[in-house]
Amino acid sequence: MSITDTGSRLTNGIYDRTLQADVLVIGGSIAGAWAALSARLAGASVVLAEKGWVGTAGVVAANGGGGHYILPGDPKQRAGVLGARYPETEGLANIPFLEEVLQESYRCFTRLAEWGYGNGSICSNQNANSMAFLRKKLVEHKVKILDHSPAIELLLTDDGVAAGAAGVSRKTDETWAVRAGAVIIATGGTAFLSGAMGTNGVTGDGYLIAAEAGVDMIGMEFSGHYGLAPLNGNSTKGGMFFQGHIFDENGERLDPLPSWFAVPNVAKALIEGRRVYTVLDKAKPENWDNVIRNVPNFYQYFVRQDKNPFDTLWPTGLTYEGTVRASGGLAVGNGCSTSVPGLFAAGDVTDRTKLTGAFLSGAGPAIAWCVASGEWSGRSAAAFSQEVGETKHARTARPAGRAGVRPQHHAQLGAREVIKTAQDEVLPLEKNYFRNGPAIQASLDTLNSAWDGVCEGLSGGTAREVLKSREAASLVAAGRWIYSAAHERKETRGLHRRSDYPERDDSQRHNLRVGGLDKVSVSVLDVPLSLPPVEVVV
């Protein structure tokens, strides 16, 4: 190993390890794991590079969740699952597309059952177990897993085709590169390090590396989402709140509609300085033990402090969940391709407005999309790599990373300060829940200035510093895209709320495409008429 530091070796293309594969997958939670298996089963050799450890990394292993599907031959169930959340999409969802996704997820979950996971839930309470199962499958099928190996930048040919990625090994300070015939980005959304359970690894890295190749995002303005959680706890499992009731300090009910539907009232109370309390009072005492056993991660907060959440009020707060549960992300087309040849994307990192419109993708559609998009991107990437053929590893490819990895001058900034700057604009309820023009502009001014600072002088020496610098750059970038889109949508719709434009404006029933690095641009993308699913007459 050279005596120069990890950061210098990376920026100079000196790699301690170089691997070759037909398909490289970046990100190893459920979407990435599924994509890797899909590509492998399509005959490709696969490397899966994960920032943490495949099996515990990502939101699913820590926080859990269930996936939706359509049961064949059950028209009532089909109409029900397509229609249950339709009104909240506010005209931006594509129901025929959602149907294809839920048919694919049915096939994927069936395959999971055939592999032997037939009597367990995919995610819910057995979250960590299902991810551990997928890791075993990956190993069994000889997917090469690189744990603790964050990808820092893409490698692109002179024609701008994706040809692999380079990164660092967090625990050994090594640099690595993977040359590939195709690359799949499955790096998740971002909650800006709010502490929402399981989200500390998802810092928007995938948006930045894709943008450096030329990919744009859609729906980033639908990101004003905060999850209910115990006030000094971190498990934002909204599903739990359907089991109880929420009050303010005066005893006023805040949840005529439960859980995430009540978040606007809770946000308003908190912004106005009123404290909020929850009691999970729908379960009968004889069922309490069962309820706790069913969702162990959420209930640790209470059990470990000898608190009873079912018959006492407990202080409640809101923790930012951002694009993890919301709906925006990388623009993807057929087969989960992006606008960059050889580059595909799956899971929470992608635009999900076609599934759930302007509202949450969480608790059902998102995980269905993770497996379906994993399945599709894996096949597409395997096919693309096959098409590239013999030249795939011989092509000249250059690293595309700039902000946070190749600053214009010597490193001057600390990554943690930069992260704090981004968080200060995105996490506060007053700025991001009820947005308004002047506040958005003020945040953009701060973030744009932070971006200039990052490009000027942010980088790292050790592997951990390299990673933190890139994460900091990614968060600043994500904040700019979110607020640039929010600035252009002059209405309130779904997870984008403007106090200066508090009504929905039907002439803005379109999507916004946002992209660019030094200069961010926003454009309108027309959306086909969104027809509700046909109701089944009983």
Binding mask 201-220 for another protein (x = CB under 8 A): x-------------------
> Are residues 459 and 403 in contact, defined by beta-carbon separation less than 8 angstroms?
no
What distances in angstroms separate CA 2 from CA 15, 83, 177, one per listed residue? 10, 59, 16
Stretch that binds another protein, among 7-15, 78-86, 216-224, 431-439 (CB under 8 A): 78-86
Write b or e for each residue in 169-179: b if 16 or more Cβ atoms lie within 10 A of its Cβ, otherwise e.
bbeebbbbbbb
Stretch that binds another protein, among 34-42, 129-137, 219-227, 324-332 (CB under 8 A): 129-137
d(CA 159, CA 402): 18
CA-based nearest residue to 36, from 18, 55, 11: 55
Q: State in angstroms the smallest separation of the CB of 476 from another protein.
A: 19
Q: State in angstroms the smallest separation of the CB of 116 from another protein.
A: 4
d(CA 498, CA 496): 7
**CA-based torsion, 320, 326, 331, 333: positive or negative:** positive
d(CA 380, CA 150): 23
Angle at 380 between CA 326 and CA 323, to 5 degrees: 10
Q: Is 187 in the site for another protein (CB under 8 A)?
A: no
Q: Is 136 in the site for another protein (CB under 8 A)?
A: yes
Looking at 6, 11, 56, 337, which residue binds another protein (CB under 8 A)? 56
Looking at 156, 210, 363, 495, which residue binds another protein (CB under 8 A)? 363
> Are residues 188 and 461 in contact, defined by beta-carbon separation less than 8 angstroms?
no
Q: Is 457 in the site for another protein (CB under 8 A)?
A: no
Stretch that binds another protein, among 203-211, 293-301, 391-399, 515-523 (CB under 8 A): 293-301
The 3-state DSSP class for residue 155 equals: strand
One-character DSSP codes across 31-93: HHHHHHHHHHHTT--EEEE-SS-TTT-SHHHHH---B----TT-HHHHHHHHHTTTGGGTT--
Stretch that binds another protein, among 63-71, 321-329, 339-347, 425-433 (CB under 8 A): 63-71
Q: State in angstroms the smallest separation of the CB of 410 from another protein.
A: 26
Q: Is 250 in the site for another protein (CB under 8 A)?
A: yes
CA-based nearest residue to 144, from 21, 31, 34: 21
Q: State in angstroms the smallest separation of the CB of 286 from another protein.
A: 14
Measured from the CB atom, is 402 or 504 closer to another protein? 504
Binding mask 458-497 for another protein (x = CB under 8 A): ------x---------------------------------
Looking at 2, 13, 75, 113, which residue binds another protein (CB under 8 A)? 113
Q: Is 288 in the site for another protein (CB under 8 A)?
A: no
Q: Please state the φ and ψ torsions of residue 300, each to the nearest 5 degrees.
A: -55, -40
Residues of this chain, 139-158, that bind another protein according to CB under 8 A: 147-148
> Are residues 442 and 490 in contact, defined by beta-carbon separation less than 8 angstroms?
no
Measured from the CB atom, is 128 or 525 closer to another protein? 128
Stretch that binds another protein, among 8-16, 193-201, 206-214, 395-403 (CB under 8 A): 193-201
Stretch that binds another protein, among 12-20, 301-309, 374-382, 440-448 (CB under 8 A): 301-309
Q: Is 282 in the site for another protein (CB under 8 A)?
A: yes
Measured from the CB atom, is 298 or 501 closer to another protein? 298
